[in-house]
Structure 1
Amino acid sequence: MSGLSYICDEYGSNSEDSDTDKGQEFDRPKLPAPNLSKVVVVASHTHTDNPELHGGRSRLFPHVRGNWASFVYVNYDQIDAVCNLIDKLEEVVVTKSESCHRCDDFHISLSRTFVLKYHFISAFSSSLHKCLANTESFHLGFGAVKIYCNEDCSRTFISLEVDPFAQKHLQEISNKVDQVLTEFQLPPFYENPSFHMSILWVNGDKKFELESILDELNEILSQEVEKSLHAVLVETINCKSGNKYFQYKLR
């Protein structure tokens, strides 16, 4: 007998049976409790960060499923010219640090790293597109080598500060990005940002040691700017959210 037939026989399946049973009491058997002993229980996902797997770097905030680390930036694509500069700077930097690492990519940040819920990504990107729609393209060059520490002082960066002309344009764009961040109740960029592109980093707070060789690093930069590290035209703004990339065309 099928399960459906069993249920119909036990409880009745039509109004005729119900009418016949009115006023009569029956001892109906209870259905057996389900056996859940073999049901597989899936454990919740837990992510443990191990800085040793990525050169000693540590997360500024914990990994949570559904939260996507995001930021807005200008991409710099003159890779060969930057790598030539790095080769020469690296020789000097290692005299003040036991180890020196190259940055994974070259960009100028226009926001802090912030967290977006997955279902907000599309709406955030649309708002950013509208906000940047009438922004003009501009040329970007570098004026000096600067040393920065991240917020928890776990890494020190050797960076290239953009020239004053580009600083002005980047500040205007950053203000527009801040408007969108505020709309989504996210933290704005720094109050007085120093727009720069990080190219090398070392573990720990090595700012004092590295600033002692700034004159030598800036002399190398000056020579490379004259030879190959020329200003580039910035025509797009980028946003990365997890593994998703968005690009916004400037006028």
Structure 2
Amino acid sequence: MSALAYISEYGSNSDDSDSEFDNIGCMRTKLPTPNLSKVAVVPVYEHQDDPQLHDGRIRSFPHVRGNWATFVFIQYLESDALHDLLDKLQEKILSVVESCQKCNDFHISLSMTVVLKYHLISSFRTSLQSSFNNIKSFDLGFAAVKVYCNEENSRTFISLDVDPFTHKFLKVISKKVDQAFEEYQLPTFYEDPSFHMSVLWVKGNKKTELNNIIESLNEILFQETENSLKNIFVETISCKVGNKYFQYTLT
């Protein structure tokens, strides 16, 4: 029998075997099917935001890995005088609404909250530093109580608007911040910003109820600024990028 015949005969009986011939007639062994039952499967990460964990707050844009929420602001240091003011405002507010909470931190925004890619953080910091060169330190004070509501109507904020002298300085600084944002094609701040510090909040849209007592709230602010709540001296500007904080010193 020829060699071809032997191969042909073997091939006809190999359907149930664990081996097969390659295209040049050499026998090769079939690899067993791998058992993947014990291999860990890594799920695709998907962030689920729960407003109940954040006092009803809703993200203005969805969380995406690699995107860092970023904004520039002035940090206002807490004091006994500030908390005395808030206690008195809170007492008055509770006469027209069921609940009123103090904000977790006190700051004045100098930019929109925007999305910054991780790989741009370092150069963005450098751009901000250049923007603040030759900006002088200044006094910050408040002139009025204002009421604001977020776009979702889920929370109403009681805020302290800065005085005209402070507003002039903040307008200059926010324009410098805008220039840095434009380099990275990020949204700039409002054309005519209202610089304020949110200090208290209530659930839902309660603007009508709170504006009905706005004169009383402003009277409380006036009395406290006359007695104990003094202007503060601003020497630094802050920037929050995700969970990172950066600070820039003014001249």
Per the TM superposition, whether the score is higher than 0.5 is: yes
Q: Residue 234 of structure 1 aligns with which residue?
A: 234
Deviation of 1:33 after TM superposition, in Å, equals: 5.5
* Alignment map for 1:155-170 (pairs within 5 Å): 155-170=155-170
Deviation of 1:32 after TM superposition, in Å, equals: 5.1
Deviations 1:140-193 (A, max 9, x none): 100010111123222111000001011011011000111111111111111110
Q: Residue 144 of structure 1 aligns with which residue?
A: 144
Deviation of 1:39 after TM superposition, in Å, equals: 2.0
Aligned equivalents of 2:216, 2:179: Cα separation in 1: 40
Q: Residue 74 of structure 2 aligns with which residue?
A: 74
Query: C-alpha root-mean-square deviation of aligned residues, in Å?
Result: 1.6
Deviation of 1:31 after TM superposition, in Å, equals: 5.0
Query: TM-score by structure 2 length?
Result: 0.86
* Alignment map for 1:95-244 (pairs within 5 Å): 95-244=95-244
Aligned equivalents of 2:206, 2:188: Cα separation in 1: 27
How many residue pairs were aligned? Answer: 228
Q: What code does the residue aligned with 1:171 have?
A: K
Deviations 1:35-90 (A, max 9, x none): 43432110012222222222222222222222222210001114222111000000
Aligned equivalents of 1:59, 1:204: Cα separation in 2: 16
Aligned equivalents of 1:54, 1:164: Cα separation in 2: 33
Q: What code does the residue aligned with 2:63 have?
A: H
Q: Residue 250 of structure 2 aligns with which residue?
A: 250
Q: Residue 14 of structure 2 aligns with which residue?
A: none
Q: Residue 46 of structure 2 aligns with which residue?
A: 46
Query: TM-score by structure 1 length?
Result: 0.86
Q: Percent of aligned pairs with the same residue?
A: 61
Aligned equivalents of 2:242, 2:79: Cα separation in 1: 23
Q: Residue 8 of structure 1 aligns with which residue?
A: none
Deviation of 1:100 after TM superposition, in Å, equals: 0.6
Q: What code does the residue aligned with 2:79 have?
A: I
Q: What code does the residue aligned with 1:63 have?
A: H
Q: Residue 19 of structure 1 aligns with which residue?
A: none
Aligned equivalents of 1:155, 1:46: Cα separation in 2: 26
Query: Which shifted more, 155-164 or 117-126?
Result: 117-126
Deviation of 1:25 after TM superposition, in Å, equals: 6.5
Deviation of 1:236 after TM superposition, in Å, equals: 0.4
Aligned equivalents of 2:140, 2:250: Cα separation in 1: 14
SS in 2 for 1:98: coil
SS in 1 for 2:71: strand
Aligned equivalents of 2:72, 2:47: Cα separation in 1: 25
Higher Cα Rg: structure 1 or 2?
A: 2
Aligned equivalents of 1:71, 1:107: Cα separation in 2: 11
SS in 2 for 1:245: strand
